[in-house]
Structure 1
Amino acid sequence: MRRKEVLIGGLVTILVLVSAAGLVYAQGGGPEGWLGPQGGGEPDPYTTFTYQGLLKRDGVPVDDYCAFRLNLYDASSGGNLIDTFNTSEWVTKGVFTIDVYGFAGDLNGEARWLEVAVKCSGDADYVALEPRQPLRPAPSAMALPGLRTSHNDTSPSVIGGYHGNTVADGVVGATIGGGGYNGNVNQVNANYGTVGGGANNTAGGVYAAVGGGVSNVADGMEATVAGGYNNQASGYAATVGGGISNQATATFATVPGGYGAVASHYGEMAYASGYFGSTAGNAQTSLYVLRGLSNGSDWVYLYLDGSNQAITIADGRTVVFDILVVGRSSTSDGNESAGYHIRGVAERAEGVLSFWSNVYSLHEDDASWEAGVFTAPDGELTVGVHGNDETAVRWVAVVRTAEVAW
């Protein structure tokens, strides 16, 4: 992948090139059919550097229209050819100026040498001018060791740390603060993503962030993994604070840390300090907040998002739950309140969800209000509530669980 990186300052390399070859120089128009700049697509003013030289033959400055071939190498002689740039330019009183582009991704802070070959009017082939010229420090300023930038017209990206760290093509506003090493690079694959450091970390969602650690992935939009090892935040605005092998896979799901927790419900906060066998999430506790509104004596259900996201219990799982339910009517409806405490056990086996519970009324301003636990065939465990016929009531339930599964 070629990265386009911002040139720091106006850079000019001044070189004196003396050719001993028998070139024929003549004043006049450019040779027919000679190429303009060819070196990596259209020139980008943010990744172009200026190469200026003085071309002489036997001490006499050249005046001609000449073709130039610039080969980029990793050694002063021999070595590997990294890239090539071709262009044709006027040479006036020996002076020529070339705007070189397309090399930005090759200038990664490591030593580079430029071999210039020239062909002027009447020449059969290019003549390489010796010696190769070291490109330091000027053009390499586009890729200072440990820090480089990738320009775009929307929001440039900043890439620090290991030279193999990457921002995907087309991504804008990305930041990699540092870290990474061979085989364990940090990468940002979506707009405005951030990796602060560490190694083998990926910010794959728009506005997603990985603070550090190793082998962490934040691929949900606005998701965050603060650090740790092998953690993933794939839900929208999901968060993993740290720890090891934790997953926050649902919208607003959170794992604060620990080891091997899975938060797979909307808004769930899960915690574990380990798990059985090789499946994370089978020995954990979770916290949920449900809400809803009743406008009469009919039962209504409370949901994680207030509308349709419910707590579900997977097959082969047993959950002990402890639920606090609170309701309050508006001032116009008398400021009435109620509170309930529900405890129970739910288990699901072969697709059938069973539960046992006790409901304790902590307080009721109106004895007609009620709260309870209900199930649905698809494994939903739901808190149901109702007020009276004349009252609109806002309800909130907090559910805490202890969970085990095979």
Structure 2
Amino acid sequence: MTSPKITVIIPTRERASVLGAALRTVTAQTYENLEIIVSDNNSGDGTDAVVQHANDSRIRYLNTGKRLSMSHNWEFALTHVREGWVTFMGDDDGLLPGAIHRMAEIIVETKAQVIRTEYCTYDWPGMLGRPYGQLIVPLTSGMESRNSRKWLKKALEGHVRYSQLPMIYNGGFIHFSVLQHIRDVMGVFFSSVNPDVYTAVAIARLTDDFLFVREPLAISGTSKYSNGHSAFSARASRNPQAYRQFLSEGNIPSHADMPTSKEGNMPTSLQACVYEAYLQSARLGGSVDSMNHARQLAVVLATSGKHRTAIDAWGQDFSHLHGLDYSRANRSAVHLRRKLESRWLGQKLVRVLRSVVTDRLALQNVYEASIAAGALRAAPGRMDSLRFLGNELRGAWRARINA
């Protein structure tokens, strides 16, 4: 078969303690036409030594030379790519064994230019109050062509998570020509404070369809450094320090139609982030019918979860800015909330039923998790999954009683 060029970009900053394991999941790939870009955001913790220790000729180490925001570091890294297919992964994330070779097969077989794959999840040790990690490995396979506009509408309406869109992160592989088209229109590729969310929305706006591969090729890791967990999680293990550091650095201003919270930040709502990315990418076209501020406010309020008090306060500011009836939006959100919560719970339970969940293996890092994921895909065991499913159902039942 032909050998398409594939570039894996790992932006990083002061995370040498997890980067080594994440990088090892990539250098373990046997695929030759692979470039690995590590974009070091001027770290001072020995990140360069970790990369040097990997000792792989496919690695290109970059240093920004000064501290940049996350979005600007991602943009800096992407400017060093000129061709082929591109994916980004976090410095606490990983790839499954053989993932790049498998992606090359899919590219050659389907001729697709926008590909999104399923992914595993791994909670690093300590994230769940245990000395070892929890791993969820989907057992799904096959692929389907998805209409980009249809799935973008689903995400904006809260029916699916933005990770179901053709994002370039953790299992998303995008041909460089698509990225260059967005850059030609927007001037830069990343035009939002949340680069992963932005790519999901922007690429969906620009393309007619994308290929969704149900076979997991990547691992989405959650560690004490994870910005998403630090910002949005309601777990007791949430450490807000990572998000505070993220916010302390100059970044791309949020869209003028999205007021900041009382602290001067974007609200702690992934749904608000999706809408902000939608607003920022308007020049790409691909608008979704009947999508407006009033409708999005109801969805943001309905999906506020345990951050409801803060989101309600932000929603009132949003209503005032756009001359909306907040009480009406809140009433709509009450009816919508139960529907969406039931839908999301159903999606989560279906995912568990189609996966192996294990929290009893002594997995100390994402590289060990990647090896385990490959083994579990080959010979799955389900007892831990059933126990996990029971815990999820009990938790959902208690939440509904207390609502």
Same fold (TM over 0.5): no
If the length of structure 2 is used for normalisation, what is the TM-score?
A: 0.22
Structure with greater strand percent: 1
> Which structure ranks higher in relative contact order (CA pairs < 8 Å, sequence separation ≥ 6)?
2
Structure with greater helix percent: 2
Larger Rg: 1
If the length of structure 1 is used for normalisation, what is the TM-score?
A: 0.22
